[in-house]
């Protein structure tokens, strides 16, 4: 048990370095984490020996080491987020009869990682590995709504950045800001016929430990189906909240 506090401090230190844009000084680490500077130096030296941090002597700063990258790469190889989300998507499809998706942001696109489809469901363009413009998809906008506004502006600097599929959806930065503001306040996103005519989708984002969007879960049904989007949204928000919990995320 005597090793638990040190392990906890080491993990907090790793997480802190992972959130910084570059290497930082030991004094900054101590100040930000509320730890004695002597303890921080001891942790850094031990973690450097194992390759989890690296020291830049000329700058007197510390950054993440190769071992931290290897751990992250191993997580990706194990399909971590897909494994955590797959049973939740299955439950969503079972309980609603809708097609469920898991998507992540890939630049200004939504990249679909998982798809759960009920029997005899209509064929959809969305599928594993498919990418669609994020500003048109419910999943994409659920994640865009969680991004800092400067990042959204960087992805959509002007009207030329907006592609169109069915003549619906935001067409310039001003329209996108308005839509994201409404959906951010509501807590979920919806698109009706913006990807494929005759289908409506609702989505909610799951977030990581920094409150950043890690993925989005969505439900898609024919527009003519007698179900309110709000009812589907309640289900998908619960599922996204559970995925956030499984990711050790921090809702904001």
Q: Looking at the structure, tell me whether residues 69 and 87 fall in a common domain.
A: no
Place of tokens 């989005």: 216
Give the integer Cα–Cα distance in Å for 192 and 227: 13
Q: Average pLDDT in the 152-163 region?
A: 92
Domain extent for 164: 79-246
Instruction: Give tens-digit pLDDT for 24-59.
Output: 999 999 999 999 999 999 999 999 999 999 999 888
User: Does a structural domain hold residue 251?
Assistant: no
User: What's the whole-model pTM score?
Assistant: 0.70
In this structure, are 88 and 44 located in the same domain? no
What CATH number has the domain bearing residue 186? 3.30.450.40
Which tokens in the block code for residue 223? 């527009």
Q: Please indicate, yes or no, whether residues 225 and 117 belong to a single structural domain of this protein.
A: yes
pLDDT at 3 over 60: no
Model confidence at 78: pLDDT above 60: no
pLDDT above 90 for 129: no
Over residues 73-84, the mean pLDDT reads 70
Assigned token pair, 214: 């890690």
Res. 2: pLDDT tops 50: no
Q: In this structure, are 127 and 59 located in the same domain?
A: no
**Same domain assignment for residues 172 and 212:** yes
* 8 Å CB contact between 144 and 135: yes
Backbone dihedral angles phi then psi of residue 183, each to the nearest 5 degrees: -75, -30
Residues 106, 16 within the same domain: no
Final residue before a domain boundary, out of 37, 56, 73: 73
Residue 73 has pLDDT above 70, yes or no: no
Residue 123 in this model has a pLDDT that exceeds 70? yes
Quote the pLDDT of residue 29. 95
**In whole angstroms, what is the distance from residue 10 CA to residue 71 CA?**
15
> Going by DSSP bridges, is the β-strand pair 109-116/99-106 parallel, antiparallel, or unpaired?
antiparallel
57 with 149, same domain: the answer is no
What is the CATH number for 35?
1.10.10.10
Using one digit for the tens of pLDDT, what is the confidence trace for 158-207? 999 998 888 888 999 999 999 999 999 999 999 998 998 899 999 999 99
Q: Where are the beta strands (DSSP E) in the chain?
A: 53-56, 61-64, 99-106, 109-116, 131-133, 189-192, 199-207, 213-222
Contact between 193 and 223 under an 8 Å Cβ cutoff? The reply is yes
Q: Are residues 96 and 214 in the same domain?
A: yes
Domain assignment of residue 162, yes or no = yes
């Amino acid at each position: 048990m005597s090793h638990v506090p040190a392990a906890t401090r080491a993990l907090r230190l790793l997480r802190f370095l992972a959130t910084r844009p570059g290497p930082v000084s030991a004094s900054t680490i101590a100040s930000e984490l509320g730890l004695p500077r002597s303890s921080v130096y001891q942790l850094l030296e031990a973690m450097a020996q194992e390759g989890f941090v690296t020291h830049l002597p000329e700058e007197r700063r510390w950054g993440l080491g190769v071992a931290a990258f290897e751990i992250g790469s191993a997580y990706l190889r194990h399909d971590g987020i897909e494994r955590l989300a797959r049973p939740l998507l299955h439950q969503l499809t079972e309980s609603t009869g809708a097609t469920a998706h898991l998507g992540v942001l890939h630049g200004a696109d939504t990249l679909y990682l998982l798809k759960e489809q009920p029997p005899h469901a209509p064929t959809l363009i969305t599928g594993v590995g498919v990418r669609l413009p994020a500003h048109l998809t419910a999943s994409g906008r659920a994640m865009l709504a969680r991004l800092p506004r400067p990042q959204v502006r960087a992805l959509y600097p002007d009207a030329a950045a907006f592609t169109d599929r069915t003549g619906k959806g935001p067409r310039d930065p001003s329209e996108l800001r308005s839509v994201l503001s409404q959906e951010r306040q509501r807590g979920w996103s919806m698109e009706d016929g913006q990807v494929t005519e005759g289908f409506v989708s609702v989505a909610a984002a799951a977030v990581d430990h920094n409150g950043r969007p890690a993925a989005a879960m969505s439900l898609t049904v024919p527009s003519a189906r007698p179900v309110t989007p709000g009812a589907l949204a309640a289900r998908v928000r619960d599922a996204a909240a559970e995925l956030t919990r499984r990711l050790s995320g921090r809702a904001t």
